[in-house]
Amino acid sequence: MSSLTIGAHVDQTDPVTEARARGAALSQFFLGDPQGWKRPVVGYDGGPAALRQAAEAAAIDLYVHSPYVLNVATSNNRIRIPSRKLLQQTIWLAGEIGARGVIVHGGHVLKGGDPVAGFDNWRKCVERTEISVPLLIENTAGGDQAMARRLERIAQLWDAIEGTEGADQVGFCLDTCHAHAGGEELNSVVERVLAITGRIDLVHANDSRDAFDSGADRHANLGTGTIAPDDLAAVVLAAGAPVVCETPGGVAGQTADIEWLRRRLT
């Protein structure tokens, strides 16, 4: 499985150069402020067309992570409606740069809210969004009201969107830190996810600073956290999908993590 495409989450200004600096074949990045509501932008010199051309010439796959503020599941109209709008803008711009996917967190309902309403809001989002680039829903680490922390909730989410127009363009991004911190055993998580979604389109390979089922989303460099190294590598191997290291340490830290994975996948 050494042929797996492995890369990292990098600065958005020049994701092609960032990938080369890490010896990677993939870059994931934001289009603008991950904590803000402004319209997404491409920071690369020359704009979307230039970035697409540069990535294709360098054989670098591009993935876009949507802003963290998005929550299409909530019943709060002041959050849900702008979330749908910003998600659509992000998908459109991701298409312009030739991105292979847009990653989005599952979101959550309000305290005391009914998760079923959140699943239905997801259905409406899929139905009303032009999904021109694969939309990859990512499992999350914490929150009792989260749509995608526990696999049983992910199963309910998939049931809600199944058969909806555009659902064939909805995929799954499996984050190892989030699964571990969210209380899901890694030694069987790939099999269980595939039984629900039928697909894993991307893996976020991250170690966890915190204990199993802690609910804490704090990434660590591979082999330095609380996840058993063999379990982490086994998830990547079993999933067989492109891999993003969202780990600390910049170029040096992520280059080491990419090499850590490659050694264990050959």
- Backbone dihedral region for residue 32 (phi beyond 0: left; psi -120 to 50: alpha; all else: beta): left
What tens digit of pLDDT does each residue of 6-61 get? 999 999 999 999 999 999 999 999 999 999 999 999 999 999 999 999 999 999 99
* Length of the chain, in residues: 266
How does strand 219-220 pair with strand 207-208? antiparallel
Percentage of the chain beyond pLDDT 90 is: 98
CB 56, CB 37: distance < 8 Å = no
* Per-residue model confidence (pLDDT) at position 188: 98
Amino acid of residue 253:
G
Number of domains in the chain: 1
Residue 175 domain-assigned (yes or no): yes
Say how far apart CA 100 and CA 106 lie, in whole Å: 19
Residue 127 domain-assigned (yes or no): yes
Q: Domain range holding 65?
A: 6-265
Helices (H) and strands (E) in the chain, counts: 9, 10
* Per-residue model confidence (pLDDT) at position 3: 83
Say how far apart CA 262 and CA 264 lie, in whole Å: 5
* Per-residue model confidence (pLDDT) at position 2: 58
Q: What Rg do the C-alpha atoms of the chain give, in angstroms?
A: 17
CB 104, CB 140: distance < 8 Å = no
DSSP β-bridge partners for residue 171:
136
DSSP string for residues in 95-156: HHTT-S-EEEE--BPPTT--HHHHHHHHHHHHHHS---S-EEEEP-S--TTBSSSSHHHHHH
Q: Find the CATH number of the domain harbouring 236.
A: 3.20.20.150
Whole-prediction pTM:
0.97
Residue 1 domain-assigned (yes or no): no
**What phi, psi does 44 have (nearest 5°)?**
-65, 135
Say how far apart CA 227 and CA 212 lie, in whole Å: 8
What tens digit of pLDDT does each residue of 211-257 get? 999 999 999 999 999 999 999 999 999 999 999 999 999 999 999 99
Residue 93 has pLDDT above 80, yes or no: yes
